[in-house]
Structure 1
């Protein structure tokens, strides 16, 4: 039995809307017929290909969903092509995943101009010839035999923040299991509409929304690209009760102008990651919709979903005893870390020993490997365990607390700090729209804390730097759970936070730029000579002369090589634009 294929075929004769959106409404039966036609076309076009892989270079349109369902019926593999990639990087993604067929639309076709696509067919779904191409298959029935659950359906790219993106393999069975778990957990039915505002080339929209709504027989509302200003209007127009999000999307919605009737909407639940406790609380207060934060990855090796009984900051827990496969371990020794302890104010007391890497001791729990990258797959599966690459600590009651990505490890004055904890505290500052915390080198040893803070436009443009510095310092001094080593040494105030195409904060460029101001950004700092560990934080502007002093300190301690920069590499750092907000 293949639950995903069964759900696609169950649409036959259905009159309820399967897809709605910007100027369209398609019934379930219509979507199935479109999927069958495309499945027949795939069967013919991919018959001689080394691998039945079709790359979708599309925005969130009905065509994307129809090709997904077509691939499920035909036993083909969909490769979600990221339209923010360009030139050699885009070509690398296409070649690496062995796409024999590329499906795109006219507005994105220029991205392929000049690329060597020899041996690959390109179909333009809104081009003048596509209707004629599809006409012979208009009355096609589902292909026979139908694919088995272990048939590979997806290759979804990781973010690529630490190298070239890896293509994660996902079978039809795995996608169906993930979707059915969410469908049951959140009570989704055929009467529900899910709002797909996150890009369909990413696992969040596919596993968190498309799959559960398809299995429930519900309706999917599509928005071509995420737009904060259209969010509430779309939700109301399409009657959406459920949506998924990633990263900064929730912050962008909260940054829109408040309306008296914000709470008058059909939403009941949002599911996603990295919204932050402060934004989740604000969202529920404003829109009357609960956000359920979870932890997971495209790889599927480990997933945690928030429990309503969870203490502040926790992202879930597993059972106890022999079936408890998750653990927080020292990445060097593999020994399980002791439980984390906090004081009455919520400060983590033993981060140095309690923070470690989250592992799943059932190594194959959902992870099906990377396409053509056995080395990366082996790094995930070591010593019989699945290693997430993410930092956590676990309290005495078994609750897991996210501490940051492995690249976010902070070690200040020989103490390990949890990036996520600092970000959650800084996010409480009222002028902040988004916060990113990351390590910059210390002149003597280890790291210093740096934060990028996206400010509300009225604050960014209308507040003097001295007033801003004083306001930020007063806020920090008032936080009872801010440890003495947590206040940022450097703070960059930005008008827009750099993000990836999937709305996650892009820290790679921020780390590379360190304390160097970029554009209109304002960088403040706490000078080394003026601060002690327990002093109230005092910030001032980081001047060009300060950069020279900092460089001299590194040289004095024999660490000049730490901040020596390859200018060519630095110029290559890309600070991505935020997605459409208007």
Structure 2
């Protein structure tokens, strides 16, 4: 299928296609019905957004993954409006800030989320509650609309389409801009890369307010004329049942979703499905191998931010642990942000230990063309991204002599231990090999004197207990675990705290430090065994921090 210049064109192509195009537990719509539903909502939207001075053609969507979500995405594309995906885990003033910051004139939501909006100051925002009779009555007069009948203005490739909030660990989320042309091109590129066709079914279980679900799942399905199946919210226990029910062939994941799937009890039907591919980030090589062995499905790790500033493509010769090489047109380098110089190529020992982490790990920078289109009303954030005319990703990588890039975490996940720079993701990938662990998070806590100490939070598999001696022996057996990497503190949890997009909420862990409500183990000295962190030991540690005028946690 030839490419399209806009998302609106892709929506129009669904007209007249009577194959099933959109499903969830309760609904099944043909591609034609999806296009018709989008056209009706576009016509309504045009009437709800008459031109006014200073009024932006923006609508917010505060929904679970219901059919209304892609229908309103299609409506916005046809009408020439832009969508701000609103995160339902935000609360109070923060939630109101997100809606007001993105200048939403219409907010589409559902009854389950109305308590979140109760009492919030949202002047000038028209509320549409989808699962109500009033909504159906409001939409009914537009039932005969056709794609292209109603537009707020010309729809072009450069037309603003998405305002995707980034999930930064500090400060208010930034709304990254994405045009219709960029999203259509991204969908087409993934369609080609993964050979997506009309007979595929994309299972969307990641939240659609996040760029991953829209850019990497919905857009390629739309570009290929493939079907879409929805799960309102991610559920590990229902994943395989959904995959079978919907005949799904493709899904995307973010963060720790793969670990939750692996933690479900194995069954003889684990491979009884049509699923052929999972595409996402942060699964880790160990969990990816376990997933393929159990479910027979390869996971392809990719890299590409919602901002569109840099992307990495995996090739068949990509080494284990690497993400891939720079995508065509990108000139990606690993830079030392402090010196402004390119980092050294990574050097490895025969057992795979990165020998020069301090010199090799740096920030990934795109010195070539960039599809970054900016942040909505945030020039300071744009300036931080575009320094010296280059795009700085905010992510840590290292690159080997052959040009393959390895993810090493976010810049704020860097640790400095005894004057050596470490990356949390590198340590996590090693600790994830421990067969008792269902999930691992590594983060920095302040050293009492200077720099950082390594702390790990470990969620155990069901029925497992933390055996300190066994864990210590496991660490000693890892040939690629350098002497600075073993965690001094280990917090044992039932489950790791996550953001709404299944990423680890590291800020929560860092703020607690070693003073947590969960059982915590530590090594009093570098060569000692792990032992329980007792109240007496905590008191002694706090006195040491106080003596050196240091805080025991990062907040």
SS in 2 for 1:498: coil
Cα 1:564/1:84, change in 2 over 3 Å:
closer
Partner of 2:331: 325
**Alpha-carbon distance, 1:542 to partner:** 0.7
Which of 542, 552, 555 is residue 563 of structure 1 equivalent to? 552
Cα 1:455/1:350, change in 2 over 3 Å:
same
SS in 2 for 1:264: coil
SS in 2 for 1:480: coil
Q: Distance in 2 between matches of 1:544 and 1:164?
A: 36
Conserved? CA contact 1:435–1:451, under 8 Å: yes
Q: Distance in 2 between matches of 1:488 and 1:564?
A: 15
Q: Distance in 1 between matches of 2:386 and 2:154?
A: 32
Q: Distance in 1 between matches of 2:402 and 2:5?
A: 38
Q: Distance in 2 between matches of 1:30 and 1:37?
A: 10
Say whether 1:31 aligns with 2:39: no
Say whether 1:195 aligns with 2:203: yes
**Alpha-carbon distance, 1:110 to partner:** 1.4
Q: Which runs of 5+ in 2 are unaligned?
A: none
**Alpha-carbon distance, 1:324 to partner:** 5.6
**Alpha-carbon distance, 1:319 to partner:** 7.5
SS in 2 for 1:292: strand
Say whether 1:483 aligns with 2:482: yes
Say whether 1:377 aligns with 2:395: no
Deviations 1:143-201 (A, max 9, x none): 35750010001001111311111111110011111111110000000011010000111
Q: Distance in 2 between matches of 1:543 and 1:304?
A: 46
Deviations 1:212-264 (A, max 9, x none): 00010010000000000000010011110100000011111111010012112
SS in 2 for 1:61: coil
Counting only pairs closer than 5 Å after superposition, residues 211-250 of structure 1 correspond to structure 2 as 211-250=219-258
SS in 2 for 1:94: helix
Say whether 1:503 aligns with 2:502: yes
SS in 2 for 1:515: coil
Counting only pairs closer than 5 Å after superposition, residues 157-168 of structure 1 correspond to structure 2 as 157-168=165-176
Q: Distance in 2 between matches of 1:136 and 1:162?
A: 45
Which of 282, 288, 292 is residue 296 of structure 2 equivalent to? 288
Deviations 1:496-545 (A, max 9, x none): 10010011111001001110122xx11100003xx3xxx4x610111111
Partner of 1:540: 531
Conserved? CA contact 1:80–1:202, under 8 Å: yes
**Alpha-carbon distance, 1:563 to partner:** 3.0
**Alpha-carbon distance, 1:305 to partner:** 2.8
Which of 285, 300, 304 is residue 308 of structure 2 equivalent to? 300
Counting only pairs closer than 5 Å after superposition, residues 86-165 of structure 1 correspond to structure 2 as 86-141=91-146, 142=148, 143=150, 147-165=155-173
Q: Distance in 2 between matches of 1:377 and 1:299?
A: 10
SS in 1 for 2:121: coil
Partner of 1:175: 183
Cα 1:319/1:7, change in 2 over 3 Å:
closer
Deviations 1:312-363 (A, max 9, x none): 211111389xx6610001101211111010101111101111111110012x
Deviations 1:405-447 (A, max 9, x none): 1111111111111221110000000111111111111122211
Q: Distance in 2 between matches of 1:160 and 1:359?
A: 18
Partner of 2:264: 256
Say whether 1:421 aligns with 2:423: no
Conserved? CA contact 1:196–1:209, under 8 Å: yes
Say whether 1:186 aligns with 2:194: yes
**Alpha-carbon distance, 1:2 to partner:** 2.6
**Alpha-carbon distance, 1:93 to partner:** 0.4
Q: Distance in 2 between matches of 1:236 and 1:300?
A: 33
Conserved? CA contact 2:312–2:327, under 8 Å: no
Conserved? CA contact 2:311–2:326, under 8 Å: no
Conserved? CA contact 1:183–1:213, under 8 Å: yes
Partner of 1:446: 451
Q: Which runs of 5+ in 1 are unaligned?
A: 571-582
Q: Distance in 1 between matches of 2:553 and 2:113?
A: 39
SS in 1 for 2:111: coil
Cα 1:564/1:401, change in 2 over 3 Å:
closer
Deviations 1:12-36 (A, max 9, x none): 1111111011121000111111100
- List, as ranges, runs of 4+ consecutive aligned residues in structure 1 with deviation greater than 6 Å: none
Say whether 1:346 aligns with 2:349: no
SS in 1 for 2:238: helix
Conserved? CA contact 1:235–1:265, under 8 Å: yes
Conserved? CA contact 1:17–1:25, under 8 Å: yes
Conserved? CA contact 2:303–2:313, under 8 Å: yes
Partner of 1:41: 44
Q: Distance in 1 between matches of 2:11 and 2:111?
A: 28
